[in-house]
Amino acid sequence: MRTFDPFDEVRRLQERMVRLLDEFDRFAAPAAEKLIERLGMPVDVIDEGDKFRIVADLPGFDKNDIEIYIEDGDLVIKAVRKEEKEEKDRNFLRRERSFGEVYRRISLPADVQEDRIRARYNNGVLEIEVPKTQRDRKIIRIE
């Protein structure tokens, strides 16, 4: 006779969740990355020790059409690509270039110096440097 284990069902559920997450990593994660690329603003966030460096691809945008700001502890990048004036006699065989707004919100840790954030935009690549705060190190003596 088998004894009842109340945690047996929890273990089986946990195993199913692990399998489901493995499936997600194999199939859905690459699709999500492609979706982000198609939305128009893939970003890299790099921890460089004393600062974070954020690199975003924004080809075809004018630097005056890019807005960067801090909101609720997040760094927000917003850019607008205006639609070119469409001419009536143009016959597009394919039209894939998108127009409108692209938007990314990146969570920042609380220990950054918001007033020292710097941004550069060159050849369609936006680079943002977010300095970390310098924390005083408290040395704890071993007794």
Distances from the Cα of 80 to the Cα of 38, 53, 54, 67, angstroms: 15, 22, 19, 9
Per-residue model confidence as pLDDT tens digits over 40-99: 588 999 998 889 999 999 888 889 999 999 988 889 999 988 766 665 567 777 766 667
- Is the same domain home to 29 and 58? no
Task: Say if residue 35's pLDDT is above 60.
Answer: no
- Confidence class of residue 29 from pLDDT cuts 50, 70 and 90? low
- Is the same domain home to 35 and 45? no
- Confidence class of residue 16 from pLDDT cuts 50, 70 and 90? confident
SS3 content of the chain, % helix, strand, coil (to 5): 25, 35, 40
Determine what percent of the chain is predicted with pLDDT higher than 90.
26
Residue 52: CB atoms within 10 A of its CB come to: 20
Q: Which range of residues forms the domain containing residue 17?
A: 1-39
- Is the same domain home to 78 and 18? no
- We report the CATH number of the domain holding residue 130 as 2.60.40.790
Determine what percent of the chain is predicted with pLDDT higher than 70.
71
- Is the same domain home to 51 and 110? yes
- Is the same domain home to 7 and 60? no
